[in-house]
Chain A
């Protein structure tokens, strides 16, 4: 089955700096990669996703890059703000039995200090 590795597990940056979170996956057939943000005590929320026919996608301060050959994808947050502090999860979608299943990384706890 699919295995998703995520690094780092914790990341601390100063407000205004950039943050980068990296993920690798094992199933070469995977080609949908969402990123979720989970604030303390709240539900995971989709912040950006990318499909394998695209190498990069940007939405304001957030961007995701995908390297299908190397089987890795990354989340980039620029001009970080304290409200970006949360746990971020990457995921890869793969075929599983009769459906499609998301396999999540273990999460990165991002802390943005003023």
Chain B
């Protein structure tokens, strides 16, 4: 069964450094999501792509976060500079079309610790 892949699984960095996370969605899935999950809370959407276009990035802190999906397949989420409050799990998810009720499949996440 195909799964969403993410790397790295764990990342420790110092504040003010730059970090980048990578996501490879399930093959053929047009919609890709990046979520942030703070310990003890549910995932919160950061950005949504439909193919290579951003559909929603209203919750993305654009002064330090950026995301791209250049060829409409895999995606990179970057934080520069990282702050202590960015410590969280960053989850990527994909769905076939992004249509209403389309199932979202999650990757294993990247656990970020900012020291």
1/0 contact string of B1-15 vs chain A (CB within 8 Å): 000100000000000
Question: Secondary structure of the A side of the interface?
Answer: strand
Interface size on A, residues (CB 8 A): 27
Interface residues on B, range: 20 to 34
The yes or no answer to B25 lying at the interface (CB within 8 A) is no
Tally inter-chain residue pairs, CB-CB below 8 A: 64
Contact of B56 among A32, A34, A45, A99 (CB under 8 A): A99
Q: Which residues of B contact A106 (CB under 8 A)?
A: 40-42
Provide the residues of chain B in CB contact with A104, threshold 8 Å. Answer: 42-44
Judging by beta carbons under 8 Å apart, are A91 and B42 in contact? yes
Question: Could you give, for residues 46-87 of chain B, a 1 whenever the CB lies within 8 Å of some chain A CB and a 0 otherwise?
Answer: 001010000110100000000000000000000000000000
Interface membership of chain A positions 87-107, coded 1 if the CB is closer than 8 angstroms to chain B and 0 otherwise: 001010100111111111111
User: Which single member of B50, B55, B99, B104 contacts A102 (CB below 8 Å)?
Assistant: B104
User: B103 near A93 (CB under 8 angstroms)?
Assistant: no
Q: Compute how far the CA of A89 lies from the CA of B100 in the bound complex, rounded to whole angstroms.
A: 19
Alpha-carbon separation in the docked complex, A69 to B101 (Å): 20
Q: Which chain A residues in 33-83 approach chain B with CB under 8 Å?
A: 34, 36, 42-46, 49, 51
Bound Cα distance from A105 to B41, whole angstroms: 8
Q: Which residues of B contact A (CB under 8 A)?
A: 4, 31, 40-45, 48, 50, 55-56, 58, 91, 98-101, 103-109
10 cross-chain pairs, A with B, having the tightest CB-CB distances, nearest first: A104-B42, A99-B55, A97-B56, A32-B101, A43-B106, A98-B55, A44-B106, A43-B108, A89-B42, A101-B45
24 A-B pairs with C-beta separation under 8 A: A6-B42, A32-B101, A43-B4, A43-B91, A43-B106, A44-B91, A45-B106, A49-B101, A49-B103, A51-B101, A93-B100, A93-B101, A96-B45, A96-B56, A97-B56, A98-B50, A98-B55, A99-B55, A100-B100, A101-B45, A104-B43, A105-B42, A107-B41, A107-B42
